[in-house]
Structure 1
Amino acid sequence: MKRLHPFLLLGCCLVTAMSGCKKDQASAPLPVDGLKAYAGKNRAKVEFDVPADATNGKVFYGTGNFVEFDVTDASAMQEVMVDGLAEDEQAIRVVTINADGASSTPRGVMVHVYGDKYQAGLKPRKWLDQVNKDPGSIELAFENALAGEDGVRVVYTTTTGAKDSAWMEASQNIVAISNINTDEPYYYYSVFLPEAEAIDEFWSAPVDLKTAVMLDFKKEAWVIAGTSGEQAGMEAAKLIDNNVNSAWQSQGGGSYPHWVTIDLGTSKLIDGFYYVNYQGPGKSAKSVKFELSDDNNAWTTALETQVQDSYLRQRLAVGQTVSGRYLRVSVVDAYDGSATSTAQIAEIDAFNTQNASGNNGKDAYSSSTAVALVNAKAPFVGDGSNPFPALGAFRMQKMQGWTHNSAAVVSFDDAGKSFSLFTANVWGLSTVTNGKVYQTVNLQPGIYSLKIKVAHADGPCDALGVVAAPGTMPDYTVLKTSADTWRYYDLVANQNKTVELVFAVAQASAVNVGIVYNIRDQYAATGTPWSSFNLNGMELAKIE
């Protein structure tokens, strides 16, 4: 047998190998054509055309993951769903395989996959209003569509108890719904497509429309449903007209309480009220009561509280969320102490966690000019007297610059430089009845605000902050009804607070501002030999 030369043998092998490679290349199917991927929620739909000889293939994603597919009709567009994709940009690669098992060159495409992160950032389109057309028929109004929004879906219960929904296109702002039972929950959500050709919808968080309607006050629709009385030009409707320069005033001569009932249109969720006093001279309400009802018949008290004698807006929190269609506002009594005087209120609003019915009144005076009071701010100064040396020489004194009647023996404690109305009966300093500590200021015409910074009581006492006509301060027993009393405030009931007394001066006049008080002994009850009432100061300002 002849031996082949080594080079000839190597040449034969190379020829054979090259022939095999050419055969493999010739038998491999062509790559896919028209490859496109459509975004979805943690998935993507992949579309492509396959060559005529393809029998199956693979769609690769991630790191080595793939989905296999079979080709039943090579002339048709192929669709493959790829699930379990992470939310982010994803690379998709497709190969086809023929009957010989040969694979095509891969073709790739990028797709943005969406998921929980995208959905969590979606907000519902803002709801504006609900119009009740007739029983079982409503119209809902919305602001313009948000970016990427496809529309709004409203889900509700029909009057026959079936579940149903209504669709509003992104280009629309109003959707009409008939045959709806609004006593049952109904809600809406915005539907989004992250891309125009996305295969999945994404929904915003739902908005409970029944609650939304109850949170929306729509004050312009409020009407007066009843009143204990009103005066011409100061009708009950002025209480809700969004104008603090107008006011409701009850009829004169009637006894308290004076009240107004407001129909809010539908039941509302309420966390509190804004209260604005009449903005002119007059007798202010002292205690007010807010009641709620669903039928204007059975009433539940939401809040009964004392309001300040102030021109500023007062926020009166209920302490819990309450609801009702009808609101009754009652003036229980007034600062003048009369049982039959008229009541005056400028404006009432309601608020909840999301809305307020109006922004009426002011939180601070736009124009305020301080009026100097003598020795009215800490640290206080004593007058150097020594009326009660039992506690140490010159410790207990009188407030310098203030007028004291004979019952007001001690008003200053040098140990703390404090404004302290004091008695110690068991030590020889008698209890105080009808004590008066005040000063007189000369004022020009205008509206004034006296703020009294109340500290605390230690023992049984009565203390009224007072604005009164010039001359001697009215006695405690008649102060609340005296014609000389312009304003007064119960300080014991407002410890650790700042209270305000607003009063008008019609012509240049001297005015007394100060305190009328009683301090009783507590030794028998508590063993404490003294009783006191303490103040942190007073401020007087012209506000108009």
Structure 2
Amino acid sequence: MKNLIAKIGMFSFGLVLIIISCETQNETFDQFTKDGETIYIGTPDTVIVVPLGVDQSRFYVTVNADPKISKGKILDLDKNAVHEFNVDRSSLVDNTLQFDLNLDEGDYSYKVVLEDDNGNSSIQKEVTFRVYGEKYQATLLSRSVTQARATSENVTLQFSDPLDGLISSILSYEDADGAMQQMDLPNNVSEVVIDSYKLGGLIGVSGSYKPTENAIEEFQSNSLESNFPSSFALDYNLISALKLPFDATDGCYGSTYERLTNGATGEFWHSCEGDTDNADKYPFVMSFDLGVTAQLRGFRLDERSGCCGDRSPAAYQIWATNDLGQGDTADIDAGPIADWETDAAAKGWVKLLDVTNNANPTFEVEIPEVATHYRYVRVVAISSIGGGTTANFDEFTFAASSIE
């Protein structure tokens, strides 16, 4: 009898526990269903954001097959709606819709959520991206003109190598009539020859960049501007040596005047040593027929390749004339340089340039503009950079702004 009472007691206690447990579970379930069951619709399969242009981005949102999806939102980190859009499946391509947003330059982290007409929404899809604008554009560099070699017929421009990300470049330049022209400058082109150009005219180079491979629009760098040379090199083939009385000779060690005006460095002219008549020690004079009557604007001397830069002139002069019939000038070694200058001026020679402190073994100097065109020119070498009397250099180049 006692065992039966005990069993009934245990059963009653277990039944109470079950009832209490069920009530607790119902209370917990009610907490989550008091506002009704939450219904989720399909989450965006893919969200991609690509740079479009300055302060612009393009969104690609791929929606799944859930037929209830009718619209969507772009939310910022504070859950504010940045953009809202409709989902019209009849206009989708591969279940993907696209739209463009204008945003300030910077880095963004947005969430994309899809919705149905009853206010049900999808789980949020997060996407991070960067918007490119004027700050990025200001960092873009154009290719520069590294060298410009001008003749009376054309000019050859050389350009720096393209930087990473550069797609292509546009070269703008002022032609002989002063009109601006444009031409493509592909990345694999480092040299361009222009037949019609204006001396001193404008040159501009701008480049196109893409900040990422999938960027839609190209960003333009600021135009890097420079100018054509204000003069052009006279044709070496037209220049010949006059070798007037008391001029320097062809020199020694295989030297010739032709080496000085053959357009190629590496074949030097060298004065002779000792006290012989052809020693050609500083000071000395060299005279040339330019082959044309030119408005001289520049002179260049190239030092001997790999040797003896201190033998280039520190003090030198450039003289010119159109009349060789007024008599021979004096021997420059016969007295002070000033006496030779006086005699040269009396014989119709005009001093165009007088340099006294050159320290560069290879140098290029501008001759002040004069209205007269000249056919004959003299280089008067007075002293060397190193102070010695031996002369040694490779090449002379004469430049002009026009020829007759």
TM-score by length of 1: 0.42
Give the fraction of aligned pairs with identical amino acids, expressed as a percent.
15
CA distance in 2, matches of 1:330, 1:68: 76
- Of 59, 75, 80, 1:46 maps to 59
Q: How many pairs are equivalent?
A: 312
Structure 1 pair 138–246 and aligned structure 2 pair: CA distance change class (3 A): closer
1:80 CA drift (Å):
2.8
What are the superposed Cα offsets for residues 172-194 of structure 1, whole Å, 9 maximum, x if unpaired? Answer: 5566778x544542322332222
State the AA in 2 paired with 1:30: G
Distance (whole Å) between structure 2 residues aligned to residue 187 and residue 166 of structure 1: 11
1:162–1:48 Cα change, 3 Å: farther
Deviation per CA, 1:90-130: give whole Å up to 9, x if none: 32321233333443322122224444554454443465666
Structure 1 residue 188 corresponds to structure 2 residue 215: no
Could you tell me which of 42, 46, 51 is aligned with 1:34? 46
Residues 349-375 of structure 1: per-residue CA shift (max 9 Å, x gap): 79xxxxxxxxxxxxxxxxxxxxxxxxx
Partner of residue 21, structure 1: 36
The verdict on how the C-alpha distance between 1:38 and 1:227 changes in structure 2, with shifts beyond 3 A counting, is same
| Structure 1 residue 90 corresponds to structure 2 residue 90 | no
Describe the SS at the equivalent of 1:238.
Answer: helix
Counterpart for residue 455 of structure 1: none
Q: Which has the higher helix share?
A: 2
Label 1:60 to 1:143 Cα distance change in 2 as closer, same or farther (>3 A): same
Instruction: Name the counterpart of 1:346.
Output: 393
- Report the Cα distance in structure 1 between the residues aligned to 2:268 and 2:133, rounded to whole angstroms: 55
Of the candidates 218, 227, 231, which is equivalent to residue 201 of structure 1?
A: 218
- The separation in 2 between residues aligned to 1:252 and 1:314, in whole angstroms, is 21
SS for the counterpart of 1:21 is: coil
Pairing partner for 2:265 from 223, 227, 242: 242
Q: Residue 100 of structure 2 aligns with which residue?
A: 81
RMSD of the alignment, in Å?
5.8
Aligned pair 1:67/2:82, yes or no?
yes
SS at match of 1:90: strand
- Consecutive unaligned residues in structure 1, runs of 5 or more: 1-6, 293-298, 336-342, 351-544
1:254-308 Cα offsets, whole Å, 9 max, x none, are x986545779xx99998997778xx99xx9978512479xxxxxx994543267x
Residue 342 of structure 2 is matched in structure 1 by: none
CA contact (8 A) 2:256 2:269 kept: no
**Alpha-carbon deviation of 1:68?**
1.5
Query: Comparing both chains, which one has the higher relative contact order based on Cα–Cα distances under 8 Å and sequence gaps of 6 or more?
Result: 2
1:306 to 1:259, Cα distance in 2 relative to 1, 3 A: farther
CA contact (8 A) 2:168 2:207 kept: yes
User: Does residue 1:110 correspond to 2:110, yes or no?
Assistant: no
* 1:194-273 matched pairs, under 5 angstroms: 194-208=211-225, 210-211=227-228, 225=239, 228-229=242-243, 231-232=249-250, 234-239=255-260, 242-243=265-266, 245-247=268-270, 258-260=286-288
Q: By percentage of residues, which structure has more strand?
A: 1
Are the equivalent residues in 1 in contact too, given 2:259–2:268 (CA < 8 A)?
no
Pair 1:289-2:317 in alignment: yes
**Equivalences for residues 240-389 of structure 1 within 5 A:** 242-243=265-266, 245-247=268-270, 258-260=286-288, 287-290=315-318, 301-305=352-356, 314=361, 330-331=379-380, 346-347=393-394
Instruction: Classify the secondary structure of the residue corresponding to 1:170.
Output: coil
Normalising by structure 2, report the TM-score.
Answer: 0.53
Alpha carbons 1:223, 1:237 under 8 Å: kept: no
